[in-house]
Structure 1
Amino acid sequence: MKKNRWRQGAASVAAAAVLWLAAVCAGSDDLASAAAAVRQSELARCLLQWELADLLPTDSLPLPALLALGQSPQLLAAQEEISRMQAVSPEKTETPAPPDEPVAQDEPQPDGDTAEPAPPLSVVVTDENGYIRVGDVFIKNASRQTLDGIRFDGTFAAAPGDESPQVLILHTHGSEAYTMPAGEEYVDTGSFRTADASVSVIRVGDELARVLSGYGLSVLHDRALYDDPEYNGAYYRAEDAIEEYMAKYPGIRFILDVHRDALEDKAGHQYKVVTREDPDCAQVSLVMGSSWEGWQENLKFAVAVQQHLTESHPTLMRPLTLRNSDYNEYFTTGSLLVEVGAAGNSLDEALKAAHLFGQGLAEVITAKAAQ
């Protein structure tokens, strides 16, 4: 019976492939035009994304389909492009779901979402089920990498130099904003998004820069909007900016890309994430990439920062997430993607979290400088 089902599945895949090829190549006059039509088809990219586990949480394709995908020159040729596509929007940390099942959202939601925020949520992991534990830090490894052989002993490669600036803060998605309490309304450009830098994550970056500067670190804060008016392509535009900054200021050793997360239930209610120590303080999460040589040093730095913060603020940090993309973190070994709060949080809650995170980060960086 299982053998028959396997054959039926293989036949279905083969039939679907034939139908797709027929549809794509319809109207082609010769083999060259047919090949061009296949190359331009979006389905090829979708199939590769499926095989790379980006359209489904696990590799659930039948074995014949996976083998076919793996042997396809067209799909293999597109793998680098798909890896770049993965960096269009950070995939958010998977968190234990409360009773009404909030889910992480990666793309901007339709304009006009005015649903009331859901009750506060403190994301706290206490066991290793689904996580890798390093000291007091829990890591959700959603990448294809292994952490075997990485020595998490508090050491890391990044160190501040004498040249200024030493730290670059920017916002790939600078229009990301927070919920609007009464009296704190802003002009939105989308769902929990605004071009008003005084109430968006750019304001959070201002606070972070202020705290780091107070510890004697030289900070450059890029307050440009790379996701407005168009969300897609923001990482590429931010990447170009980072390249220019690195060429102009070679002393930059730490790059912080500051975002805010978004967690909502099925009804569209936005959750706020808050610490257990202070319900008026948002939680923070780090999202790390692993698609370049040397990513381990960035992860070691992230773990060292999170471990230090957890010792003084046990629930400030949500689990760290490791993913397949690069998120432009490959420029320096001290690059982090920092998500401060979620769409359901208020700006004040996010600012309080940024203040605490900045203090802990500065303490880790200055301690390394003193070594």
Structure 2
Amino acid sequence: MTRPSFKNALRRLEALALAAGTLYLTAVTAGSDTAVSAAKALAQSSPLGAVRWELGDLWTADTLSAAAVLTISQSPLLLSARADVAELWQKRQGETPAEDRPAGDDIVTEPVEETPLDAPNAPDNGVEARTLVPTDPSGYTVCGRAYITNSTDHTLSVTELGELFDAELTGEGPQILIVHTHGSESYTPAGDTDVVWSGDHRTTDSRYNVVAVGDAMAEVFSAAGISVLHDRTLYDYPAYSGAYDRSLAAIESYLAQYPTIRFILDVHRDAIEDSQGNQYKVVSDVDGQTSAQMTLVVGSDGSGLSHPDWMENLKLAVALQNQLLQDYPTLMRPILLRNSRYNQHATTGSLLVEVGAAGNSPEEAHLAGTLLAQGMVELLEGRSK
């Protein structure tokens, strides 16, 4: 009786293994519509994939390893905080989560595509001044005067980019919301000041940070008769991590209370160093005055997060860029199209604006914000006619 029982048990194990293998092959090749794509999917799979499949974790977008997933699945508390665990893991790997990557505080060295020009007439605040302009269309998507740096896998159509953008003024209730996900990002004033720094080129003093730029923009919109809300909250202070989550919660609250909001401007500033690690500011000559140069940053669905209407934001950015460059040829640096969505899924009129760099003076940043708002007024009023 022992030998037949052993054989029966062995057959059952073989049947179970065959069933499990069949289910695993089905799961791995489920999205394949040809034998070639199925074979490719199978070739890219691994035994660790079986663990993820067993945990129901095959299509999760974070980068946790199978071992980490298996570990946190044993604790309801850890499992409920999976996003936080993934964030800590990514930081340990030297990466920042795509949605909370500090777009307004990227350090770039000696721009390759943009040509740095000296700006000898810029007021001296102790920081070297340069004007960054693209001189070669290679590597860009060019639509009119607007240059676009595309770091996503999306292929851009110049014809589509030139089409009318979706968002427009309705004339009823608040139309524009100005927020600052990284509101403590600050500038470099000239001479001795009483500014108290909360970090590297960061301060809660709104005389010297990007909140003051939002104030200048709000004044322009209000003077033009466009109802605007300016949220002066510092979502990056005292904690920098999670700022995008906090600003998104605020945005959703504003939209619930004021459904007339069509445009959301998240105002930041950049931080730029040369190859020796020295900071410099980016400037543009505007009728004898010195303005900070600006960059429009547009998010997409490249990070895997839902953002089906990102192209509408990009069309708005292209239209605004072309509007501004008509009168101020060096005011705008190339538009950046990124994989992260930067909360821009909230409306089809959302833009992230980097106003100058840490080395710019507050006065240069304020002028830039004023010019951008004036250009946007002209664009939107023309759109509504």
TM over 0.5: yes
**Aligned partner of 2:343 among 328, 341, 346:** 328
Determine whether 1:141 maps to 2:150. Answer: yes
Q: Which residue number in structure 2 is paired with residue 202 of structure 1?
A: 211
Normalization by structure 1: what TM-score? 0.72
- 1:298-328 deviations in whole A, cap 9, x for unaligned? 1001100000100110010000000001111
**Aligned partner of 2:375 among 354, 357, 360:** 360
Q: CA deviation at 1:259?
A: 0.5
Q: Which residue number in structure 2 is paired with residue 132 of structure 1?
A: 141
Q: CA deviation at 1:280?
A: 1.8
Q: Which residue number in structure 2 is paired with residue 303 of structure 1?
A: 318
Q: Which residue number in structure 2 is paired with residue 289 of structure 1?
A: 299
Q: CA deviation at 1:267?
A: 4.4
| SS of equivalent to 2:267 | strand
Q: Which residue number in structure 1 is paired with residue 100 of structure 2?
A: 87
Determine whether 1:343 maps to 2:358. Answer: yes
What is the alpha-carbon distance in structure 2 between the residues aligned to residue 185 and residue 331 of structure 1? 38
1:98-177 alignment runs, 5 A limit:
118-148=127-157, 151-153=160-162, 155-177=164-186
| SS of equivalent to 1:124 | strand
Kept in 1: contact 2:220–2:373 (CA 8 A): yes
- Going from structure 1 to structure 2, the CA distance change for 1:33 and 1:221 (only over 3 Å counts) comes to closer
Q: Write the letter of the residue equivalent to 1:201.
A: V
Kept in 2: contact 1:93–1:321 (CA 8 A): no
| SS of equivalent to 1:330 | helix
- Could you say which structure has the larger radius of gyration? 2
Normalization by structure 2: what TM-score? 0.70
Moved over 2 A (4+): 31-47, 84-88, 91-98, 265-269, 276-279
Q: CA deviation at 1:130?
A: 1.7
What is the alpha-carbon distance in structure 2 between the residues aligned to residue 207 and residue 141 of structure 1? 30
For structure 1, which runs of at least 5 residues remain unmatched after alignment? 1-13, 15-23, 56-81, 103-115
| SS of equivalent to 1:243 | helix
Kept in 2: contact 1:138–1:320 (CA 8 A): yes
1:312-323 alignment runs, 5 A limit:
312-323=327-338
Q: Write the letter of the residue equivalent to 2:219.
A: R
1:4-83 alignment runs, 5 A limit:
33=71, 46=90
Q: CA deviation at 1:45?
A: 5.5
Kept in 1: contact 2:140–2:148 (CA 8 A): yes
- Going from structure 1 to structure 2, the CA distance change for 1:166 and 1:44 (only over 3 Å counts) comes to closer
- Going from structure 1 to structure 2, the CA distance change for 1:342 and 1:185 (only over 3 Å counts) comes to farther
Q: CA deviation at 1:198?
A: 2.2
Q: Which residue number in structure 2 is paired with residue 228 of structure 1?
A: 237
- 1:334-366 deviations in whole A, cap 9, x for unaligned? 111011110000000101111111110111011
What is the alpha-carbon distance in structure 1 between the residues aligned to residue 109 and residue 283 of structure 2? 13
Higher deviation after alignment, 185-194 or 153-162: 153-162
Q: Write the letter of the residue equivalent to 1:269.
A: N
What is the alpha-carbon distance in structure 1 between the residues aligned to residue 71 and residue 285 of structure 2? 61
| SS of equivalent to 2:367 | helix
| SS of equivalent to 1:217 | coil
Q: CA deviation at 1:180?
A: 2.5
Q: CA deviation at 1:153?
A: 2.5
What is the alpha-carbon distance in structure 1 between the residues aligned to residue 163 and residue 107 of structure 2? 23
Q: Which residue number in structure 1 is paired with residue 202 of structure 2?
A: 193
Q: Write the letter of the residue equivalent to 1:208.
A: M
| SS of equivalent to 2:142 | strand
| SS of equivalent to 1:189 | strand
Kept in 1: contact 2:213–2:365 (CA 8 A): yes
Higher deviation after alignment, 296-305 or 261-270: 261-270
Percent of pairs with identical residues: 44
What is the alpha-carbon distance in structure 2 between the residues aligned to residue 358 and residue 259 of structure 1? 15
Q: Which residue number in structure 2 is paired with residue 97 of structure 1?
A: 111
| SS of equivalent to 1:298 | helix
Q: CA deviation at 1:148?
A: 3.1
Kept in 1: contact 2:107–2:272 (CA 8 A): no
Q: CA deviation at 1:222?
A: 0.4
For the aligned residue pairs, the C-alpha RMSD in angstroms reads 3.4
- Going from structure 1 to structure 2, the CA distance change for 1:218 and 1:33 (only over 3 Å counts) comes to closer
- 1:118-141 deviations in whole A, cap 9, x for unaligned? 421111002112211111100000
Kept in 2: contact 1:88–1:233 (CA 8 A): no
Aligned residues: 300
- Going from structure 1 to structure 2, the CA distance change for 1:216 and 1:128 (only over 3 Å counts) comes to same
Q: CA deviation at 1:197?
A: 1.4
Kept in 2: contact 1:283–1:315 (CA 8 A): yes
What is the alpha-carbon distance in structure 2 between the residues aligned to residue 344 and residue 324 of structure 1? 27
